């Protein structure tokens, strides 16, 4: 009954920065409800090894602007969770995508042993191709796609409020 989002951010610099953020860290605006700040409150701030895959110097500077923070102990955060559940969560919640568990590894994780029925699982002969995967996503196009999604979300929210 007490379920809630794990990362309830309200803004995301630089795409949708908090216009009221007043604190500056290394020249970047800082807000407690910024999406990355909320994520880092749980995962801890990324280490040098965590950001080793990032190539953009400005992005690296931004990531380093966050106040160092330790990773939460997921067993303490979710005391009712099994050891396997906590292990799976820890393996999925890695900042560096190269350190995350793969989909196949996740599905084979002991957490799912009681519910999986591999003999009933089927793989498609047809590869799923999502429309956005076929186009080049430069910064401008990515921004357009974010705006589309945000506007759709706002429209749905207004429609529900009108009901």
pLDDT in tens, 132-161: 678 887 888 888 888 988 898 888 888 888
Residue 8 near residue 38, CB atoms below 8 Å: yes
* Annotated domain spans of the chain: 84-116
pLDDT in tens, 4-46: 888 887 777 666 666 666 666 666 766 777 888 899 999 999 9
Residue 76 or residue 9, greater confidence? 76
pTM of the entire structure? 0.70
How high is the mean pLDDT of the chain? 87
Distance CA 85, CA 75 (A): 9
pLDDT in tens, 77-106: 999 999 999 999 999 999 999 999 999 999
Output the six-digit token pair for 4: 């809630």
Distance CA 59, CA 44 (A): 17
Output the six-digit token pair for 29: 């605006």
> Does the pLDDT of residue 110 top 90, yes or no?
yes
């Amino acid at each position: 009954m007490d379920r809630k989002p794990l990362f309830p951010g309200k803004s995301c610099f630089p795409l949708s920065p908090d216009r009221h953020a007043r604190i500056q860290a290394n020249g970047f605006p800082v807000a407690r409800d910024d999406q990355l700040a909320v994520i880092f409150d749980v995962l801890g701030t990324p280490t040098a090894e965590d950001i080793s895959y990032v190539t953009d110097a400005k992005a690296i500077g931004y990531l380093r602007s966050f106040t160092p923070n330790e990773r939460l102990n997921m067993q303490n955060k979710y005391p009712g969770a099994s050891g396997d559940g906590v292990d799976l969560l820890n393996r999925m919640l890695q900042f560096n995508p190269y350190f995350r568990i793969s989909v196949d590894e996740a599905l084979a994780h002991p957490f799912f042993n009681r519910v999986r029925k591999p003999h009933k699982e089927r793989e498609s002969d047809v590869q799923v191709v999502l429309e956005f995967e076929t186009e080049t996503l430069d910064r401008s196009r990515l921004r357009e796609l974010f705006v589309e999604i945000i506007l759709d979300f706002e429209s749905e929210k207004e429609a529900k409020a009108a009901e």
